[in-house]
Amino acid sequence: MPLELIQFDPSHKLLGPGDRGFLVNLTKARWMESACAEAVKLLQSFTQLYYAEKCPQDKDGEKVSADSGMADLEEIEEEDGQRSAQEDKSGIQFAIREMAYPSVGFVASNLADPSDFAHFVLTKLADKNDFKKPRLPFRILPVQRVCEAKAKAVEQAVKPILEDTIGQDEFPFRFSLIFRGHNGGEHLSKYESKSVIRNCIWALNPNCVQCIKYQDYAIIMDIFEPLFVMGVAKDFQQLASYNTWIIRHGIKSDQGPDSEDEISDDPTLNEDEERKRKLRIKRKRRAEKAGLTQPEGDAKKSAEQIEDGDDGGDCEDDTDNHKLGTALNGEQDDSDTE
């Protein structure tokens, strides 16, 4: 598919409906002002290489070489990551949108498909070649739609995206619903947004299966009152949940057995019953894991003990199944592990 760009106002300050781009946060530190420039710099460094792949021949019929894109990965001379139109033929633009949430940033873009670009960037970073790795530990999540945080608006906004991915045929795609850090707003909760998107998926392709791991597509979503953001990520678990820090140190997959099992949603249960059922399954798995991994001679934690404890969250929430042996400054990654 050729490179497609949309109309874009880089001077606009606030995130709003119609924006597309990337939700970015620091996985090992608090968000800081310098992180905005660093995030733009990272994304900008891949535009020439992406353009060379999407447009092997430019407007003048000249073959575009990937060497210029490779050079961008080695060094960007401007501190703010911006380059002139003469230097970058891709036409891809980025701009920071201001948000009321200090823990995350949003990089808007004129890319028609930020998901494809994010997948390209993370795949290149994970490549065995010596690409220059980002200095800061980013999580880069594509956002293809920004709309009002109301059920009807969400349904109308996400349907075209889902039709282009899982709705084109009856193939039984696997999907996961990953809701980022906020529980919802006045008109739309975390669970309602998941229900809307899940129903849209099954209306388009009833053969799809919801899975925690091994999914074909991860549906990323979050609510920044009064806005809802959504994007579709490919190879989400394989690319370390789009975490550049883990990719930088080498992806180690420990996903274990296939997850197409009872952890997937049961549409016959209401929200509370479904949540309790999943918590029971999750606790049972942790109990079994604890029983298998305890050193011989030590007291093993029983299933009843784990069942009595607080599990600590929805098993559908954002998960990383790739962990570093030693995290930065001795800290673990900020995500829960399934």
Q: What is the DSSP string of 51-71?
A: HHHH-SB-TTSPBPPTHHHHH
Between 38 and 263, where is the model more confident? 38
**pLDDT-derived band of residue 185, with 50, 70 and 90 as boundaries?**
confident
Greater confidence (117 vs 28) lies with 117
Question: Average model confidence (pLDDT) for the chain?
Answer: 76
pLDDT surpasses 50 at 160: yes
pLDDT at position 155 over 60: yes
What average pLDDT does the segment 205-221 reach?
88
DSSP 225-292: TTEEEEEEEESTTTTGGGBHHHHHT-------S---STTS--TTS-HHHHHHHHHHHHHHHHHHHHHH
Under 8 Å CB-to-CB from 244, ≥6 apart: which residues?
42, 122, 125, 133, 134, 136, 137, 138, 139, 140
Whole-model pTM: value is 0.72
207 pLDDT higher than 80: yes
Place 39 in a pLDDT band, splitting at 50, 70 and 90. very high
Model pLDDT, residue 142:
97
Task: Give the type of residue at 291.
Answer: G
Residues 150, 155, 158: CA angle, nearest 5 degrees: 115
Least confident of 140-144, 205-209, 269-273, 311-315: 311-315
pLDDT tens figures, 254-307: 555 555 445 555 666 676 777 787 778 777 777 777 775 444 444 444 444 433
Pick the residue with more confidence: 236 or 213? Answer: 236
Reduce the DSSP state of residue 35 to 3 states and report it.
Answer: helix
Q: How many CB atoms lie within 10 A of CB 318?
A: 22
